[in-house]
Amino acid sequence: MCLWYGVLGEDGETKWGYKWPKFVVMGHRGSGMNMLQSSDAKLKSIKENSILSFNAATQFPIDFVEFDVQVTKDDCPVIFHDNFIGAEDKGVFKEERVTDITLLEFLSYGPQKEAGKVGRPLVRKIQDGRIFDWKVEQDDSLCTLQEVFEKVERSKGFNIELKFDDQIVYKEEKLEHVLQVILQVVIKYAKDRPILFSSFQPDAALLMRKMQTTYPVYFLTNGGSKIYTDIRRNSLEEAMKLCSGGGLQGIVSEVKAILRNPGAVTKIKQAKLCIITYGQLNNVPDAIYMQLLMGVEGVIVDLVREITEAVSNSRILVKEAGTWNFLS
């Protein structure tokens, strides 16, 4: 897990920072996100954000699984990435906002836990508007945050992404309520499991940090590849300001933003922040090796088997190159 460290500054005061004891690998939505439009079978192998996917990922030397948490209408934290959940009903596509339905309504989609019970056939609408049947080689039922704590290998950490809709302006009371519901489950079931919170929603990240100091909170950013009305989301520089000003421990950045600007890693570390990356380039071993050399502290990946093997090999190469300090 992350470790606090202290450095004596020129003014005689101790500056506190946060770092990882090793380069960490996190399984994205378990053993990888589902890209139903892709021709790559590996991206349609196991249902994302499911108990099956999380436990499949833990069979490899990863440190964390990453997943998305939303809270249903009746205050149950559930695991699902998209803001809307949809199904085909007599040939017509219908969708509902996850946070506007009850737990029972949410769990009625997809495979059912009860023998003989048939759920609503789950489909997915992607960003360009196309709709795909959610067909994977190994399917699984939808699940709650509590179930994940109870059923996933205890030695693996959880990167819990606090999921909110970019199209909604949230009042602080609403954010606080949602975060408190999630925190209650974490506090009750986490025990000694390593936990990390992350969010693209700046106010949610800051509020989670104010509400608890047990677990680190990271700010998620795409580093400027998409522009938002909230300027805090539009660059690595703004992300650093947010983290430093709000007492957050680190940044989770789209990997392209880091590879385009390697000097940003140095600046982030000088600000006593940690840096982890996500994105499709993290499924390319050469990109992982570059980040090892740059001092990035962890990666979120879809191809868990391939990347854990690549990381193991990269550690050997980096050690032989005499730059083992990046990993130790």
Q: Which two tokens stand for residue 127?
A: 């960003």
Q: Which two tokens stand for residue 193?
A: 């499991």
What pLDDT score was predicted for residue 328? 36
CB 41 within 8 Å of CB 58: no
CB 58 within 8 Å of CB 156: yes
**Burial 157-170, CB ≥16 within 10 A → b, else e:** bbbbbbbbeeeeee
What pLDDT score was predicted for residue 7? 43
The residues of the chain scoring below 50 in pLDDT are 1, 4-9, 13-17, 323-328
What is the distance between the alpha carbons of residues 303 and 298, in angstroms, rounded to a whole number? Answer: 15
- 10 Å CB burial of residue 325 (0-12, 13-18, 19+) is exposed
Q: What ranges do the domains of the chain cover?
A: 3-82+143-325
What pLDDT score was predicted for residue 9? 46
What pLDDT score was predicted for residue 10? 53
Three-state secondary structure of 97-135: EHHHCCHHHHHCECCCCCCCCCCECEEEECCCCCEEECC
**Could you tell me the fold of the domain covering 3-82+143-325?**
TIM Barrel (3.20.20)
What is the distance between the alpha carbons of residues 109 and 121, in angstroms, rounded to a whole number? Answer: 6
What are the phi and psi torsion angles at 218 (to 5°)? -115, 150
The pTM of the full predicted model, rounded to 2 decimals, is: 0.91
Q: What share of the chain is helix, strand, coil (3-state, %, to 5)?
A: 35, 25, 40
What is the distance between the alpha carbons of residues 1 and 213, in angstroms, rounded to a whole number? Answer: 15
What pLDDT score was predicted for residue 13? 44
In this structure, how many other beta carbons lie within 10 angstroms of the beta carbon of residue 144? 18
